[in-house]
Structure 1
C-alpha cells in the first residue's frame, strides 16, 4: 500500500467533505476513519480510484456519525419535551457534488490559523494536511496519545467555524512547516521528510518566492543530516562533518530552487537563510567557507527579521570572517540570556586563545543546554580544553 499516496490525498478528500457542507471537525474525523479503513482494505483489494474511494468512505463515515448524533439528539428532544423545554433538529447535509476545486492551500491556511498556538497548529497540520494519525503525531512529539488527541480536538474546535473562502497568511503557514521540519525524527514518522513533502505540496499550490525559499532551506539542511551525528549519537559540529556524506542531489536541487526564487527580487527571511545554507554547502572544506558573504547575508536577514538570534549567529560569522575579537565585539552588544549565547562566547574565546575562559563558559553553556545531546557535546568541549590546559 502506498502510504505517501494516501497522505497526499488527505487534504483533497477533507476539502471535498467541507465543500459538501460538513463541519470541519466532523469531516476531519471522518477522513481519519476512512484512512484507517484504507490501511485495512487496500493491501488485499486496492481501488482503481483511490481518491474516489476515500471520498465515498469518508462521506459514509460522516453520514453515519451525523445520523448517530441526530438519533441521540432526538432522544434528548423527547426528554426536553417531557420537561416542557424547546427542541431543535439537526438537518443532514445533502451530498451535493463537490466543485472541481483543490482546497489544499486553504487547509494549510486553516491549520495555521492565528488563533492556534504553534504546537496546536503543527499538530493539526500534520493530521489534517499530512494525513498522520494521532498516534503517529504523539509518538513523534514524545507525548501520550491522549494528550495529543486533546490538543488536536481543541485545535479543530477553534477553526471549525472558519470558512474556506477567507484569505490566509502564507508566512504563518511557512513558520508552522518550519517548526515541523525542525522536530526531525522520532517514532515511526520522519517529520523532516514529512515537512519537505508538505512544503513541496504547498509550492505546487501557491506561487510565492518564500515558499520556494523554505523548500530550498529544508533541502539544504536535510542534505547534511547523515553527517550531523557520530555513530555513538554525539553531535558533530559543521566544521568537523564528513562532507562526503552530504546528499549532493538535495544540495543541487535546493540551490536551483533558491536561485529561481532570488531571481524574482522579492527577498524574504527563508530565502536569506537558504542562501547562507547554500554557501556552507558550496564549500568543499570548512576552511573554504565564504564567511564574508555569509556575514553579508546575515546583514540582510537582520534587516528582514530584527531577530536577536540572527544577530547571535551573525556574531559567529563575523568571528570567522574578521577574527574572534571582532566576533566577541559583535557578541558584546547582545543580551547574554539569549539561548546559546554562552556557547558562542566559549567558542569565540577558544578561537582567541583564552582557553581558561572558554572552558569555564563551555561548562556553563552545558548547564543551559536545551537537550541531552547538546549538553554532552558542550561538556566534552569543556573537558577537552581543561585537559589541554593541564
Structure 2
C-alpha cells in the first residue's frame, strides 16, 4: 500500500475541502492529519476513493474535537450544523476548493513570504524542507513563517472566505508564485529517489487552468499556464531508460508532447497580442523558443533573458541567462557572468560553473565544482548525474 503516494496526491484536496466545510484552516489541517494517522492504523488496502474516506473521517474527527474541547452552546451548535449540512452553498467567483484556499491564504494581512509558504504547506502538502528548498532559505525560517501565518490568521480573525471579484487581482501575484513553486517541486523534486513528482505537476497545471478560466484577461495568468504546459511537454524525455537525468541538449525531441506544445505556443501568442510583458510571459516565451523546431535559437533565448533580467533581476534568472550566454558567446563570458551570482546552498550554481570550466579545459576546477554540486544536491537523480560527470573527468567517485 502506497500510503505516502496517497498522502501526496490527496492531502491538499482534503485540506481544501475540510477548510470549506469547517470554515477553519487550522482545524481542517489537524483533522486531515488525524485522518491519515487513522488510515495508517486501519487500512490494509486503500479504499476505492481514499480522498473521500479521508475527508469523511477528518470531518467526523473535527466534530468530535469540537464537542470535547468546549461545552459552549455556540460550539455545540456548530458541531450539530456540521452533522446536518451536506454541501454548503458556494458563493463568489472561485469554484474550485483548492483554488479558493490559495486565494484565502494569500490574504493581504499576511506577508508575501508567509502567504506562499503557508499555501505550499496546505495545498501542495509540501514539507518544510521542500518549501525551504523552493525559497533557497534555511528550514527554521520557513517553519517560523508558517507558524506566524497561522497565528496571524487566528489573531486577525481571517475567515475562510472567497474573495470578491474585485479583490482577485490584488491577490494574484502570490497565487501565481504558489502555483509556479508547486510545479517546480513536482518537476524537480527536492529530495528522494524520484526526480519528478507527476502528481504535483498535474495539480499545478489543473489549478493554473482553473485560474486562466477565472481570469482570462490577465496575461500573467496565461503566461504561467503556458510556461507550465511547455515545461511539462518536455518531461517524457527528461529521464532516460535507466532512470538517469537527460539534459535539454541530449533529449529526444520526438518524445515531447506536441499537443501541450501547440497549446502553450497558442497561449504565448495570445500574451504577445496583449503587449503587457511580465516575468511568467517571458519565461513562457523562452520555453516556446526551446520547443520550436528541431533546435533552440539561443540568440533569441538570450535576448529574452536580457529582457527578463531587466524586470526580474534575481540570481536564478542571472544563472539561467549565463547558460544562454555560453551557447551564444562561449563558456568564458558565461563564467564571467556568474562571478557575482550568489545562491548559497543551491547545487545548480556550482553545477553550471563545473560545466563551463570543463568546456574551457579547466578539468581540476570543474571536478571540484561537480563534487561541490553533488554534495549540495538532495535529489538522488540529480546527485547521480553530477557524480557521473565528476567521475568522467577524474576517473573516481567524489
**What root-mean-square deviation, in Å, do the aligned CA atoms of Structure 1 and Structure 2 show?**
4.3
2:239 matched residue in structure 1: 229
Task: State the shift of 1:90 in Å.
Answer: 4.2
Aligned residue runs from structure 1 range 2-41, under 5 A = 17=21, 22-25=23-26
1:162 matched residue in structure 2: 158
Q: Does 1:178 align with 2:187?
A: no
Conservation of the 8 A alpha-carbon contact between 2:377 and 2:383: yes
CA displacement, residues 271-291 of structure 1 (integer Å, 9 cap, x when unaligned): 11111111111141xxx3211
Q: 1:153 to 1:205 in 2, by over 3 A?
A: farther
Task: State the shift of 1:305 in Å.
Answer: 1.4
CA displacement, residues 131-158 of structure 1 (integer Å, 9 cap, x when unaligned): xxxxxx77x979xxxxxxxx99997675
Give me the whole-angstrom Cα distance separating, in 2, the residues matched to 1:12 and 1:384: 48
Moved more, 271-280 or 345-354: 345-354
1:131 matched residue in structure 2: none
Give me the whole-angstrom Cα distance separating, in 2, the residues matched to 1:189 and 1:299: 31
Q: Does 1:374 align with 2:371?
A: no
Conservation of the 8 A alpha-carbon contact between 2:226 and 2:268: yes
2:139 matched residue in structure 1: none
Q: Does 1:92 align with 2:77?
A: yes
Q: 1:30 to 1:237 in 2, by over 3 A?
A: closer
Q: Does 1:306 align with 2:313?
A: yes
Q: Say which of 269, 279, 282 aligns to 1:269.
A: 279
1:83 matched residue in structure 2: none
Moved more, 100-109 or 263-272: 100-109
Conservation of the 8 A alpha-carbon contact between 2:305 and 2:321: yes
User: Secondary structure of 1:282's partner?
Assistant: coil
Give me the whole-angstrom Cα distance separating, in 1, the residues matched to 2:272 and 2:76: 52
1:111 matched residue in structure 2: 105
Any unmatched runs of 5+ in structure 2?
1-5, 40-45, 132-144
Give me the whole-angstrom Cα distance separating, in 2, the residues matched to 1:10 and 1:239: 40
When the two structures are superposed, what TM-score results if normalisation uses the length of structure 2? 0.67
2:66 matched residue in structure 1: 69
Give me the whole-angstrom Cα distance separating, in 1, the residues matched to 2:33 and 2:342: 46
Conservation of the 8 A alpha-carbon contact between 1:362 and 1:379: yes
Aligned residue runs from structure 1 range 206-285, under 5 A = 206-207=215-216, 208-284=218-294
Give me the whole-angstrom Cα distance separating, in 1, the residues matched to 2:238 and 2:100: 36
Q: 1:66 to 1:121 in 2, by over 3 A?
A: same
Give me the whole-angstrom Cα distance separating, in 1, the residues matched to 2:385 and 2:16: 44
Conservation of the 8 A alpha-carbon contact between 1:108 and 1:173: yes
Task: State the shift of 1:119 in Å.
Answer: 4.2
Q: Say which of 341, 352, 365 aligns to 1:357.
A: 365
Task: State the shift of 1:102 in Å.
Answer: 3.6
Q: 1:92 to 1:32 in 2, by over 3 A?
A: farther
Conservation of the 8 A alpha-carbon contact between 1:366 and 1:378: yes
2:201 matched residue in structure 1: 192
Q: 1:242 to 1:14 in 2, by over 3 A?
A: same
Larger Rg: 1
Q: 1:26 to 1:12 in 2, by over 3 A?
A: closer
Give me the whole-angstrom Cα distance separating, in 2, the residues matched to 1:97 and 1:215: 30
2:43 matched residue in structure 1: none
Count of residues in correspondence between the two structures: 331
Moved more, 94-103 or 326-335: 94-103
Conservation of the 8 A alpha-carbon contact between 1:124 and 1:155: no
Conservation of the 8 A alpha-carbon contact between 1:112 and 1:176: no
Aligned residue runs from structure 1 range 131-170, under 5 A = 159=153, 161-163=157-159, 164=161, 165=163, 167=167, 168-170=170-172
When the two structures are superposed, what TM-score results if normalisation uses the length of structure 1? 0.69
2:92 matched residue in structure 1: 101
Moved more, 94-103 or 249-258: 94-103
Give me the whole-angstrom Cα distance separating, in 2, the residues matched to 1:30 and 1:101: 26
Give me the whole-angstrom Cα distance separating, in 2, the residues matched to 1:97 and 1:353: 66
